[in-house]
């Protein structure tokens, strides 16, 4: 998904959300269980996975730690 | 820097800031010039580099694009 010019990178939110969902599903955990495990509100996690949020570094780090992967791996191919 | 328990990951902000500063300096650009090139407020960039901010995905992506590296490379070793 090519982003035309310097506009808001909405596609990075979508791509990041899909990536999180893919990795979270691979752990076999539901949104609810994974959100609980990283002390994050389930609806917030759901909106991140749906590409509707612009999560900050601290929450990105929390998600990576919960998935037990490095931040670098979390962003592989994004 | 080991973070004891689930507390705020302040060290990720510091580590991220140092990483950005290191990569930005390698481009030879001043904070002012780099901030201008990615349409970011210079003082905001300065506070990110100082580890005092919790930048969100969109700004992280802007920084990576400005440094002409992937998000995965930006987070290498963090």
Query: Which of A 36-75 lie inside 8 A of B, CB atoms?
Result: 39, 54-58, 60-62, 70-75
**Could A39 and B6 be called an inter-chain contact, meaning their C-beta atoms sit closer than 8 Å?**
yes
**Could B75 and A77 be called an inter-chain contact, meaning their C-beta atoms sit closer than 8 Å?**
no
pLDDT digits (tens, 9 = 90+) for A33-67: 999 999 999 999 999 999 999 999 999 999 999 99
From the list B39, B54, B61, the residue facing A58 with the nearest CB is: B54
pLDDT digits (tens, 9 = 90+) for B57-72: 999 999 999 999 999 9
**What is this structure's pTM?**
0.88
> Per the structure block, which two tokens stand in for A31?
């949104």
Terminal-residue alpha carbon distance, chain A: 11
From the list B9, B71, B76, the residue facing A78 with the nearest CB is: B71
Mapped to the 3 state alphabet, what secondary structure does A22-34 carry? Answer: HHHHHCCCCHHHH
The pLDDT value given to residue B8 = 59
* Predicted complex ipTM: 0.87
Distance CA A45, CA A35 (A): 6
pLDDT digits (tens, 9 = 90+) for B39-54: 999 999 999 999 999 9
Residue A20 CB burial class (10 angstroms; 0-12, 13-18, ≥19): buried
Q: Closest chain A residue to B40 measured between Cα atoms?
A: A6
Rg of chain A (C-alpha set): 12
Distance CA B25, CA B29 (A): 6
The pLDDT value given to residue A1 = 46
């Amino acid at each position: 998904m090519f982003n035309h010019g310097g506009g808001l990178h909405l596609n990075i939110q979508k791509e990041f959300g899909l990536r999180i969902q893919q990795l979270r599903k691979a752990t076999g955990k539901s949104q609810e269980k994974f959100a609980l495990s990283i002390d994050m509100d389930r609806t917030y996690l759901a909106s991140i996975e749906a590409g509707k949020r612009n999560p900050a570094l601290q929450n990105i780090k929390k998600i990576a730690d919960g998935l037990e992967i490095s931040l670098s791996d979390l962003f592989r191919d994004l």
